[in-house]
Amino acid sequence: MYARSDMPISFPGLFGDWEFNPSPVAIDIGNGIYWYGIIIALGLILAVLFCSWRAKDYGLKEDNVYDLIVWEIPLCIIGARLYYVIFYLDLYRNPDGSFNWGKMVAIWDGGLAIYGAVIVGFFVLLAYCKKKKLSFGAFADLGVMGLLIGQAVGRWGNFMNREAFGSETTLPWRMRLWTSATEYIEVHPTFFYESLWNVIGLLLIVFLVSRARTFDGENTCFYFIWYGIGRAWIEGLRTDSLYLFDWTLFDKPIRVSQVLSLALALAGFVVLIIGKRRHPHGKEALFVTKQAALAATAAAAAGATPEGSAVPESEMAADALHEGELVQNEEVSPTAEEKNSESEEQAASPEDKE
């Protein structure tokens, strides 16, 4: 089921006859700059700013966030596009059955899937943490909060496009969309359901889950449980789901996002139970705790130097060796005054020479 993007949006059960008719295109140049892209970019900016602000709470630096995002942005876009194309492969075939590669890369015509971005994003994060010797679990715990921000904001891009809506309903908050110039449908505003679900998940992580963390990866487990359950429910209401090829279960097509959501929620729950059993109390196992201990040790060592400045061990050893050589030379070599005194004594006592 598709709605026309040039027709108004309204919520008759809440606002009566009031209508909103935004164009999906914000700036009409080239292929157009769409509100969807602008809103996604806004969500990304807010996510990066939030993660850079909270980085220190996870033993990380702002630069770690900025370095990572340079790699994440292009690769996650590719991942989101690949995921969509794979499960809508028939849309990208020519009449003779061959693939239309040009159409596959035309992301400006629409077709991105959030799970593709999430999957690729986690692999990119794993590679980055391995190279920089950082804790994957700690960085993931930070990243999922940014992910929830991006998803919560980004869903409003679907609103501007009149997409990602649900089945028809008579609920008071139903959304009215037009399928033609004379016909309309009243549907679940599933874009809003998911946006609100993500905001609630973010608040739970920030104010509850993160404060009770006992192991790195705990926020991440909660994210997959929370988002997985919510997405599985909301996906069941949508009319534009990606399906698992032509496979069926109980004579019904299998929605890819529902299966993946439930699988990730189950995996998150299992890992959470294992992590809590291994680290039931305290924060000793957290990366931020270990980094704080290393910083305290370094600060204590630096406190022994003048004005608290840290001096490398190699420089201290070299200075000590240099001072020792000076002392030794002073003890062995007579001073100029001693030399003059000896000369005067020898001149005054000629009998000593005899």
pLDDT (tens digit per residue) in 250-290: 788 889 999 999 999 999 999 999 999 999 999 999 999 99
pLDDT of res. 180: 95
Q: Which of 228 and 313 is assigned the larger pLDDT?
A: 228
pLDDT of res. 206: 98
- Domain assignment of residue 343, yes or no: no
What is each CA distance from 235 to 54, 59, 84, 227, 329, in whole angstroms? 31, 36, 15, 11, 84
pTM for this entry: 0.82
Nearest alpha-carbon partner for 22 in 169, 156, 206, 143 = 156
Contact 146, 47 (CB under 8 A): yes
Total of domains in the chain: 1
- Domain assignment of residue 330, yes or no: no
Question: Could you read off the pLDDT of 284-332 as tens digits, one per residue?
Answer: 999 999 999 999 999 998 885 544 444 443 343 334 434 443 334 444 4
- Domain assignment of residue 28, yes or no: yes
pLDDT of res. 304: 59
- Domain assignment of residue 229, yes or no: yes
The DSSP string of 263-296 is HHHHHHHHHHHHHHHHS-S-STTSHHHHHHHHHH
Is the pLDDT at 115 greater than 80? The verdict is: yes
Look at phi and psi of residue 337 and say left if phi exceeds 0, alpha if psi is from -120 to 50, else beta.
alpha
Q: Over the chain, what is the mean pLDDT?
A: 87
Q: Which residue has the tokens 């929830």?
A: 148
Question: Minimum mean pLDDT among 119-123, 225-229, 251-255, 260-264: which range?
Answer: 251-255
- Domain assignment of residue 311, yes or no: no
Q: Taking the C-alpha atoms of 278, 284, 290 and 296 in order, what is their torsion angle to the nearest 10 degrees?
A: -170
Question: Could you read off the pLDDT of 65-97 as tens digits, one per residue?
Answer: 999 999 999 999 999 999 999 988 888 999 998
Interval 126-150 mean pLDDT:
98
Interval 176-183 mean pLDDT:
96
Domain that holds residue 38: 9-280
Count each helix (H run) and each strand (E run) in the chain, helices first.
12, 8
- Predicted confidence band of residue 337 (pLDDT cuts 50, 70, 90): very low
- Domain assignment of residue 116, yes or no: yes
- Domain assignment of residue 333, yes or no: no
- Domain assignment of residue 316, yes or no: no
| Maximum separation of any 2 CA atoms in the chain, in Å | 138
pLDDT of res. 244: 81
